[in-house]
A and B are shown apart, each in its own frame.
Chain A
Amino acid sequence: MKKIEINPITRLEGHGKIAIFLNDDGNVDEAFFQVVELRGYENFLQGMPIEEVPRTVSTICGVCRGVHFTSAMKASDQIYGVEPTPVAKKLRELFFNAHYVEDHAVVLYALGLPDFVVGPEAPAAERNLVGLVKAVGAEIGRDVLTKRASAVKIFEMLGGKPIHPVAAVPGGWSKKITEAERQQLIAWSKDLVELGKLTINVFDKIVLQNPKYMELVTGDMYKVTTNYMGTVNEKGQIAYYDGIQKVVDPKGKEIASFTGKEYLDVISERVVPWSYLKVPYLKQMGWKGIVEGAGTSLYSVGPLARFNVGNGMDTPLAQEAYEQFMDTFASRPVHYVQAYHWARAIELLNAAEKCFQLAQDPELTDPNTRAELGKVTGEGVGITEAPRGTLIHHYKTDDKGIVTNANLIVATTHNKGPINIAVRKAAKHFIKDGKVDDGILNYIEMGFRPYDLCLACATHAVGQAQTPLSIDVFDSQGALHKTLNNF
């Protein structure tokens, strides 16, 4: 049996590889998507004050850092028994939606779209952001980057730092907004709506109007039939910052809904010896292995999953695009994974419209950004929809708010099983009679890219122990005054 390895898989965040096994006829017998790292966050967060956790866990991922930050912040609200003040909630949501825009933009333009704009079989050296800018023209490239920069500016103004933000406090937000700053936020948000419209147009022109690419978007080689999980608001529309988590089966029937700690009744994570990443499944159905179709216990998350779980968008332009999307496919749920990219483009516009709505609210300048803290409850579960899917942060603390245990289930982890199936199917479809070249291997990598992998996220693994520390206090003459120990 011949083995082909793609190492590393590229245009994603983090480290993984694909192993493909060919039988004697040169056709694919089996393929595996392996995650090759682990970091241990669930261990070292222990001993840390919970309010320090958001700015620490944001480093689980440098791409979707804002959602780890927000999930941990929402858990810290519960640990301090407090609801954020109205203005704090609005500032958080504005921050969160601006993050969505710049994150989805990076994923589309730098990671996903080069396959379509430059071409799936184009030389490897050109299949990237630079090649994309060359293909669409420097002017559009510059336009996308400067408009996306407006989202980075909102993120930085509100969050403090442009990548790993710091402004989270339990029950609030540390940054207050002046009227002049609000006007700036309005102007930047306008850029984001323009970026959203532009992105829909680019996607339409490049992919939807190209019959060859539409074969990939609606073809069985990239079809993975699973259950879906996502978050909706009280009207059933797609929600990101907050809402109710729902699960539908491969036919679209709702089979579970949950909030907070109830996630433990719905999700289990199976350990496999061949990957550092666990494989989650729906607990009620039991572990069935990495299989698709009716009866599978695997579920997918992310933009397409949200489209399958929700009934629409809460902003007008995005709703229009959502309807066009649903009209394109004969039935729902939509199981075609390349459609993730399209859903992502529509969500970018949705998040941009939300930023614009939020920035126009005069209440944003209310200085009352911090609520009075309640008694420490000792437990909190913060759930958000990360750009790449449902994100769960669960913490326990002692009575002073010091973390004693942590459990994180991140978007890419939920998708581990479905990604493995996508890669296996693409490999079986594209490799025939032993013929393999760079273009064919890229078609296989196109099986995982729609899921927008964050493998550093997925391999956070967070625990306990306190390092013994001894502090010697000297007086001004250099004589030892006292030794303080924490052991």
Chain B
Amino acid sequence: MADKIKFAFLLAGGCAGCEMAMVDMSEKLLSALDHLEIVFWAPTVADVKYKDLEAMEDGSIDLAFIDGMIRSSEHEHITRILRAKSKILVAFGACAALGGIPGMANQHTKKEIFNQSYFDTFSTDNPDKVVPQTTTRVDGKYELTLPEFYENVLRIQDVAEVDYFVGGCPPHHDFIAKAVEAIIAGNLPPKGSWLTSGKAVCDVCKRNPANKDMARTQVFESKRIVDGEPDPDICLLQQGYLCLGPITQGDCGASCLNVNMPCRGCGGPIPGVKDYGARAISAIGSILGSEEAAVQLMEKFPDLTKLVYRYSLPSSLLASKEK
């Protein structure tokens, strides 16, 4: 066997769910570790510190995954360092590739977030009216520093060149196993690509009318999931429940649909789609059969952005809130 692939994994501003998905590969993880040498996996798994990463030679890491988005000067700094050290950099999961759920914070200013967190929440006690500072002197002698909290959530590609993108919140462990196998075998598409089967959630959904040789029809009602219990065998869209399966990568195997819940788009856009939310609106628009149904949709979901851009607001053509 050739030398092991030098592998790094960085958690930027994420939840570590992508790393847990890696652990969920279970036995396949052990097999993968036969081919991978972990040189950096922080802060979650290995005791290699930022200074150790900084001391590594440029280009000395063969393969690096980053999960999470960029929200602070520290996230950006370490991402840039890891980029320089790595031959292949993968934006792994919805946050890294698209901004993810934390990206919805771009609808708010930094000031609003600080106010909510440090003044307005029901249990907060802040008699001195302080907020965290990038530099503080405690008791006049202990100088402590914090990274700067940015105005906006950024994607990895906004601060460093990304070679490959993987969707999913997080990617399913079966798909990760396939992707890792492909990488180990050197079986990779051109740089800048998404690692995906290219199929939509609907393509792999057993409810899809097209998969049953039935025609898709327009719908005349928009429902929230509290409005009733959907038939588990019929397409949710056909029943009026908003589902984003048509435009979402289906490397998950339509897992939400398997428990009778709608797709919310975590897989990221199917190939060819640049702005996920805009395409979502277009797809929904084409299936709603009446103006009443469209009006109803906007009444049911008064903040529609949080539905159609739940995982991708930082990659939207929409500007963030005026700051």
Contacts and interface: CB of A to CB of B under 8 A. Distances in A.
Interface string A286-311: 01000000000000000000000000
A272 B321 CA distance: 28
Interface in B156-189: 169-170, 172-173
A106 B285 CA distance: 44
Nearest to B318: A467
A32 interface: yes
B118 A465 contact: no
A267 B147 CA distance: 28
Nearest to A381: B122
A162 interface: yes
Contacts of B124: 268-269, 271, 278
Contact of A110 (B24, B45, B225): B45
A63 B20 contact: yes
Interface stretch (B83-91, B193-201, B206-214, B252-260): B252-260
A133 B104 CA distance: 39
A267 B15 contact: no
A88 B45 CA distance: 35
A47 B309 CA distance: 13
B323 interface: no
A414 B107 CA distance: 28
B259 A11 contact: no
Given A49-B224, A51-B225, A110-B23, A62 B14 contact: yes
B219 interface: no
A301 to B, nearest CB: 15
Contacts of B252: 161
A166 B44 contact: no
Given A65-B15, A370-B229, A407-B123, A10 B46 contact: yes
Given A10-B42, A44-B306, A142-B27, A394 B146 contact: no
A320 B208 CA distance: 52
Interface string B136-163: 1011011110110100000000000000
Given A8-B43, A263-B123, A272 B302 contact: no
A469 B47 contact: no
Contact of B102 (A7, A40, A409): A40
Interface in A3-29: 3, 6-16, 19, 21, 29
B38 A128 contact: yes
A482 interface: yes
Contact of B173 (A8, A40, A162, A373): A162
A11 B47 contact: yes
A164 B17 contact: yes
A21 B15 CA distance: 30
A364 to B, nearest CB: 15
Nearest to A138: B30
Contacts of A344: none
B58 interface: no
B123 A80 contact: no
A264 B121 CA distance: 11
B26 A145 contact: yes
Nearest to B124: A269
A8 B248 CA distance: 35
A287 B116 contact: no
Interface in A42-69: 42-44, 47-49, 51-52, 55-56, 59-63, 65
A163 B43 contact: no
Contacts of B258: 160
Interface string B1-38: 00000000001011111111101101101100100001
A276 B43 contact: no
A462 B104 CA distance: 11
A466 B45 contact: no
A167 B259 contact: yes
Interface residues of B, number: 104
Contact of A152 (B24, B43, B146, B295): B24
A228 B193 CA distance: 51
Contacts, number: 328
Contacts of A456: 14-16
Nearest to A165: B259
B239 interface: no
B132 A268 contact: no
Interface string B91-106: 0000000001110110
Interface in B241-267: 252, 255-256, 258-261, 264, 266
A401 B226 contact: yes
Nearest to B95: A59
B14 to A, nearest CB: 7
B273 interface: no
Contact of B30 (A145, A162, A263, A278): A145
B175 to A, nearest CB: 11
B48 interface: yes
Contact of B132 (A128, A276, A394): A276
B216 interface: no
B212 to A, nearest CB: 21
Contact of A271 (B45, B47, B102, B130): B130
A175 interface: yes
Contacts of A8: 42-43, 49-50
B146 A36 contact: yes
A37 interface: yes
Contacts of B116: 40, 42-43, 461-463
24 contacts: A12-B44, A13-B43, A15-B43, A32-B142, A32-B144, A36-B146, A38-B132, A39-B105, A44-B105, A47-B303, A51-B226, A59-B15, A62-B20, A65-B17, A124-B46, A125-B46, A127-B46, A149-B24, A176-B232, A271-B131, A402-B302, A463-B115, A463-B120, A467-B107
Given A61-B15, A370-B229, A471-B298, 6 more contacts: A7-B50, A39-B71, A41-B102, A44-B107, A269-B125, A271-B124
Query: Which 4 A-B pairs rank lowest in CB-CB distance, beginning with the nearest?
Result: A62-B17, A47-B303, A160-B259, A461-B117
Interface of B: 11, 13-21, 23-24, 26-27, 29-30, 33, 38, 41-52, 71-72, 74-75, 100-102, 104-105, 107-108, 112-113, 115-118, 120-126, 128, 130-133, 136, 138-139, 141-144, 146-147, 149, 169-170, 172-173, 224-226, 229, 232, 252, 255-256, 258-261, 264, 266, 281, 285, 291, 294-295, 298, 300-307, 310, 318, 321
